[in-house]
Structure 1
């Protein structure tokens, strides 16, 4: 069961199209797994539609949310057969290829939400690198240049080094669970860490944990090693 959700302000920003691209990506993934937030989004969209119908037409400049929708539309065109443009046989072939691709993929990605499936289709080879004994990271190419978007994979029972945050970090659990001093986070849970907040995630003992993370600034390790390593940490907008 999902216990941690985006707050009302973030949901409203997402519904209005004013939330930045990278944060919208994680909110979208959460909504696709969370019936509670999906219902809230339906309500917000209904209210927005009513207000829009009652307002005067205005020509607006493209927003970051417009870029997000264009990117998602492009990924959709690349990965899914269009019923209007393809014959039945072509759709079946595409579906078979999709099933084959999923079958060959790491099982930890078997039940990710559709928006993450699209990310995987544009990042078919994940560039995993080991950050510590129990932690691996794969930075993703997403077509934006403000935030770093990445998968983080924590081995069963492993602890991530305690760290502070120099910028906002949004994390969603895609598989397994982890805990920190503030609580336990399982599949679908949505976590926001603000600058100055310190935590040390620890995966459950019997299962790996996979997270989708968006950061706007590099984390800062605490303690002695942090003083040595922090100057070399950086993010790579994707």
Structure 2
């Protein structure tokens, strides 16, 4: 009996902590057990829409769940082979990403990973990658922020998918300007030769399927440059696993 009491108290600990310090939903502010309440998740993150298999841009609703590549990807195929996203980067979901990236609300990263895992498993045409590589931040931005949001999402995502995570596989060689602050026609130039891979990368990548993890995809230039770098070092296939997609303007 003496041995059972501590186990029972330990089991009660998380419930008591939630009762004393209840979490607030990141969108509506209501009381909930996690980062997002069930009604907000169902309303804003519960819908799936047809998307381009390659870049995840939205397609007309009559295209079906797997609408094939969009016209842009047919005309100028990107270096990556597929993209899976969980949501559109639009209000109010964009506020969740801003809270993580600029507000340091790291508790949102496991939520993003769970929703992204669900999106991956729902895609019947995308095989699981052999390893995950988060998009790296430049040294200055990493020092300013204190963490890499892509890595924070990749850690729980790797566990959820049962895929090996290689956080130091890629490095950003120089501090590029944020793509959101660069004119669309300059984004490709901004990302040229932005990434370098670790010395052991070639042996690790040869003939393998790599999953690249990030928080948001907008133009796809960052992910395209990293995918091209991975393929130059032997990767056979690159799939982007990104929480949100900025809809085209």
Same fold (TM over 0.5): no
TM-score, length basis structure 2? 0.29
TM-score, length basis structure 1? 0.30
